[in-house]
A and B are shown apart, each in its own frame.
Chain A
Amino acid sequence: QKEVEQNSGPLSVPEGAIASLNCTYSDRGSQSFFWYRQYSGKSPELIMSIYSNGDKEDGRFTAQLNKASQYVSLLIRDSQPSDSATYLCAVTLGRTNAGKSTFGDGTTLTVKP
């Protein structure tokens, strides 16, 4: 079992729809959770971090965390073609720097105009 697993994708949604990206992790000691966006040929960009159970909203993005289920998700509302990218889920064991993370394989999202 991989330490961090994501929907294999690819995921395709129409413009304006909600895109839902899911991630599960195996280590119950994990405390910090991150979502990165990676455009093709570019390096990853941190877009959300979440540490506590529940929802965290930032603009069109909402991260959801359920530690009991070892599940973290990212919702993108009003999806735009510019959201088309690979989304990486990353997990760290402690409340430490985001850099020391284990990454999932990513889910590729395509938003169709």
Chain B
Amino acid sequence: SAVISQKPSRDICQRGTSLTIQCQVDSQVTMMFWYRQQPGQSLTLIATANQGSEATYESGFVIDKFPISRPNLTFSTLTVSNMSPEDSSIYLCSGGAVPDTQYFGPGTRLTVL
């Protein structure tokens, strides 16, 4: 199994600022993803983090707002840019090495004031 860590675990940010969330996997995974889980709601896929190339974004999410990097197989970052209170959410990194395995990181709880 893969162990996924995220930093920071939580943060409180001011409107208009940006926050970069880091995701580290302890073993190589083929796919990495970023999700958002808003309070009391289910998970929404933001994007697939592609190694060495631009991320693939889902409908409703754009690179300018959520730039993503994945320089190698075990590390990815998600930046939440120009934040507003509507961006307050839990951001989750996930990854897997084979089709039917999927591990989630512990999440980053973001509050935007």
Contacts and interface: CB of A to CB of B under 8 A. Distances in A.
Interface of A: 32, 34, 42-46, 49, 88, 90, 95-106
Given A43-B92, A43-B106, A43-B107, A100 B101 contact: no
A56 to B, nearest CB: 11
Given A32-B99, A32-B100, A97 B30 contact: yes
Q: Is the interface of A mostly helix, strand, loop or mixed?
A: loop
Contact of B101 (A44, A88, A95, A98): A98
B41 A49 contact: no
Nearest to B103: A46
A95 B100 CA distance: 9
Interface residues of B, number: 23
Nearest to B43: A103
A98 B96 contact: yes
B53 interface: no
Given A97-B96, A98-B99, 18 more contacts: A32-B99, A42-B106, A43-B104, A43-B105, A44-B92, A46-B102, A46-B103, A90-B43, A98-B96, A98-B101, A99-B31, A99-B102, A100-B45, A101-B45, A102-B45, A103-B43, A105-B41, A105-B42
